[in-house]
């Protein structure tokens, strides 16, 4: 993805007085997000990655693109309707954004299907893993599949013949559907010429052929869509099937809850969830073999233009191909080598987790280190007679989580348990509603945070009586309290019983559950109050140091960089000579390497086995190094519309460990991509004489030593 810098380029002579709000200094966030999906898709083509994992990356890029249309494209479409002339900080109108999104996403989709058809399927076939096409079925296979269709598929299908009594059905978001063309008359003398069939989500999208119907030593699979195509005539007895074509509709899946007009947030969210599957249409995918007249018919039915039409050469939902991994159990050689996260030695030796925390602050780095100590923290608190109260934020965790079970047990053991649940964690709303109900049944005090502000902070506070004093123990993290994602996402978590830090966390919880003015915090930076201004002050301090000839350096590792004031501050830092190094997983609206503006800024992205999710802000501070971990990215919503925390890593050994990890990321020459000033990313190319530096692998190896 590139779009021209009209007036600013790396080679232009730029006057000393530069307007840092100039729209050409900013990359469009939606196009930047598409670039992230391109980097994910590149992993599917990387021959150094195990083959089934490459298939996983393809599926991830597709599910990411689904969400992109459901949320981001849907938002831009709404902006076109509300204020078509408004321009973002990048200078683009909503309509201009949609045009660029259409072009770039179409290129991405074509690449996804080419990767499947031309690269992965042939490679899988070499490994005796076959997706058997209908034309290749043996007679034995066809007979088995017909039996499977009649017994497992046919009973749950409900075809709809289109006529005045059977209008076009409501199509569920992202569901697999078929448009069927027919001739002939049915038992009632009807013939509308078309029918629609929706495939229930309960049906698997990939069916494994039993060993008796396949060659020895092979894994043979058939797509559900192929089976339905093959036996579709059984649903329309006596009719002539002219054609059967897949299609899928993606809908606006974001929802709006008017906080000022509701009395019960939980009921309001439940009501909105019921409509998520039927939001406005934002994308239409149709089998590329579909005749033009049928394409026009579907476009008209959904009121869509060709800009949002995608004709695809394969299954309309590639992300469901991921099901194959659960069906292939005998090929560990085609998957990542399994690993077991380690428990840090200071926790493994000391069974009493509170005693271990009293001795020293403890840093966990998932997934390289186990998430188990976090669970154990709550389990011990639940049964410890000296623990009086537990306070916890939950954003994404799941109602069957051991974290939740420990909280329930604590409440039943007489502890005062307070949980702040963010109901509006996108796509986890239903799980969080179920979670709230489960906790309330156990007499846990459940609140939903602050009206108008999502609670995104990751905090746990345990109040314990020790002799004549009360002591606060805290766990603060950059990621969610979710044991499953802790195995795939990189995140930091800090255990501490520091008095001032504990008091800060207590005050934040009081803000979330009660009413009152902003209270001054000792060590935490908190949005929407002090986090943004605190980070800006630290950037300005680096600028002053650089101008005075002192040591000045900023390292930031986040998921996204969007917030304009932060970008402008980093531009000023670069202009002052501060070395700014950024590790940004996804969206980045900052343009590096523009002469006179950002030539001292490097932005790199790491795409590897684990999803980079940590948020770290590090400032050289003329040798008095400061390292902060946070739940917040450099985005407007995190800084001003969410409750977030940013906490210092004050233990020098722990902060040095984080800085060392950052240096590994900054030296990575295997999985790193460098952002260019035009918005594109170039993969780091390692010379033959260069030693391989792969940060995630080094962190895995290092965890075994620590």
DSSP 165-203: TBPPPPPPTT-EEEEEEEES--TTS---SEEEEEEPTTS
Through-space distance between the first and last CA atoms of the chain, rounded to whole angstroms: 42
Q: Which two tokens stand for residue 199?
A: 């495939």
- At 553 the three-state DSSP class reads strand
CA distance 363 to 657: 9
**Strands (DSSP E) found in 396-437:** 416-421
What is the distance of C-alpha 419 from the center of its chain? Answer: 24
- Whose structure tokens read 């009081």? 510
- What is the β-pairing status of strands 445-447 and 416-421? parallel
Nearest alpha-carbon partner for 608 in 675, 665, 682: 665
Separation of alpha carbons 64 and 58, rounded Å: 10
Distance CA 566, CA 632 (A): 13
Cα→Cα distances 462→138, 378, 417, 423, Å: 64, 8, 9, 23
Among 229, 365, 456, 475, the active-site one is 456
**DSSP-assigned letter for residue 696:** H
Q: At what angle do helices 94-114 and 51-67 cross, to 10 degrees?
A: 160
Is residue 242 packed enough to be buried (19+ CB in 10 Å), middle (13-18) or exposed (0-12)?
middle
Q: Is 445 a catalytic residue?
A: no
Q: Report the chain's C-alpha Rg in angstroms.
A: 28
Length of the chain counted residue by residue: 706
Catalytic residues: 456
């Amino acid at each position: 993805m590139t779009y021209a810098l009209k007036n600013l380029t790396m080679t232009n002579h730029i006057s000393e007085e530069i307007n840092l709000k100039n729209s050409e200094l900013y990359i469009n966030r939606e196009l930047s997000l598409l670039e992230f999906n391109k980097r994910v898709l590149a992993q599917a083509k990387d021959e150094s990655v195990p083959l089934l994992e490459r298939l996983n990356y393809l599926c991830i890029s597709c599910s990411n693109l689904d969400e992109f249309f459901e949320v981001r494209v849907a938002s831009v479409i709404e902006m076109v309707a509300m204020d078509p002339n408004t321009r973002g900080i990048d200078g683009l109108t909503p309509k201009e954004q949609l045009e660029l999104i259409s072009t770039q996403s179409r290129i991405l989709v074509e690449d996804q299907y080419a990767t499947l058809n031309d690269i992965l399927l042939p490679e899988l076939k070499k490994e005796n893993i076959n997706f058997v096409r209908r034309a290749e079925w043996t007679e034995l296979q066809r007979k088995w599949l017909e039996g499977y269709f009649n017994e497992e598929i046919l009973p749950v299908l409900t075809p709809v013949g289109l006529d005045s009594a059977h209008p076009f059905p409501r199509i569920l978001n992202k569901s697999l559907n078929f448009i069927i063309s027919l001739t002939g008359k049915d038992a009632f003398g009807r013939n509308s010429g078309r029918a629609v069939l929706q495939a229930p989500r309960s049906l698997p999208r990939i069916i494994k052929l039993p060993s008796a119907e396949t060659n020895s030593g092979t894994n043979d699979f058939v797509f559900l869509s192929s089976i339905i195509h093959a036996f579709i005539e059984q649903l329309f007895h006596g009719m002539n099937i002219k054609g059967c074509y897949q299609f899928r509709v993606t809908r606006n899946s974001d929802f709006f809850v008017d906080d000022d007009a509701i009395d019960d947030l939980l009921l309001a969210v439940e009501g909105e969830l019921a409509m998520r599957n039927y939001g406005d249409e934002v994308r239409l995918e149709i089998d590329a073999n579909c005749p033009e007249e049928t394409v026009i018919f579907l476009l008209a039915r959904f009121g869509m233009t060709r800009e949002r039409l995608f004709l695809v050469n394969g299954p309309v939902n590639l992300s469901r191909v991921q099901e194959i991994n659960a069906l292939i159990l005998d090929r560990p050689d085609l998957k990542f080598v399994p690993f077991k996260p380690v428990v840090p030695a200071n926790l493994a030796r000391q069974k009493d987790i509170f005693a271990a925390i009293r001795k020293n602050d403890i840093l966990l780095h998932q997934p390289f280190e186990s998430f188990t100590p976090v669970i154990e923290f709550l389990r011990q608190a639940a049964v410890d007679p000296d623990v009086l109260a537990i306070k916890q934020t939950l954003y994404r965790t799941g109602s069957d989580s051991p974290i939740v079970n420990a909280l329930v047990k604590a409440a039943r053991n007489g502890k005062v348990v307070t949980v702040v649940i963010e109901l509006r964690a996108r796509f986890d709303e239903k799980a969080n509603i179920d979670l709230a109900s489960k906790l309330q049944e156990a007499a846990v005090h459940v609140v939903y945070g602050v009206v108008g502000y999502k609670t995104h902070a990751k905090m746990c506070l345990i109040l314990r009586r020790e002799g004549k004093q009360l002591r606060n123990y805290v766990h603060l993290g950059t990621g969610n309290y979710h044991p499953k994602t802790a195995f795939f996402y990189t995140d930091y978590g800090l255990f501490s019983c520091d008095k001032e830090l504990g008091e800060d966390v207590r005050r934040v919880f009081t803000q979330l559950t009660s009413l009152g003015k902003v209270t001054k915090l000792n060590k935490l930076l908190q949005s929407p109050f002090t986090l943004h201004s605190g980070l800006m002050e630290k950037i300005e301090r680096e600028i002053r140091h650089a101008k005075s000839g002192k040591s000045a350096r900023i390292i930031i590792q986040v998921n996204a960089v969007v917030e304009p004031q932060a970008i402008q501050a980093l531009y000023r830092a670069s202009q002052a000579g501060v070395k700014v190094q950024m590790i940004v997983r996804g969206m980045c609206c900052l343009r590096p390497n523009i002469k006179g503006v950002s030539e001292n800024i490097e932005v790199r992205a790491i795409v590897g086995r684990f999803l980079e999710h940590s948020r770290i802000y590090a400032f050289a501070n003329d040798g008095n190094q400061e390292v902060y971990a946070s739940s917040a990215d450099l985005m407007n919503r995190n800084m001003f519309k969410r409750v977030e925390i940013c906490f210092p890593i004050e233990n020098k050994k722990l902060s040095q460990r984080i800085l060392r990890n950052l240096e590994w990321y900054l030296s990575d020459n295997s999985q790193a991509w460098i952002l260019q000033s035009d918005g594109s990313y170039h993969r780091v190319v390692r010379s033959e004489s260069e030693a391989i530096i792969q940060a995630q692998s080094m962190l895995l190896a290092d965890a075994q030593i620590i």
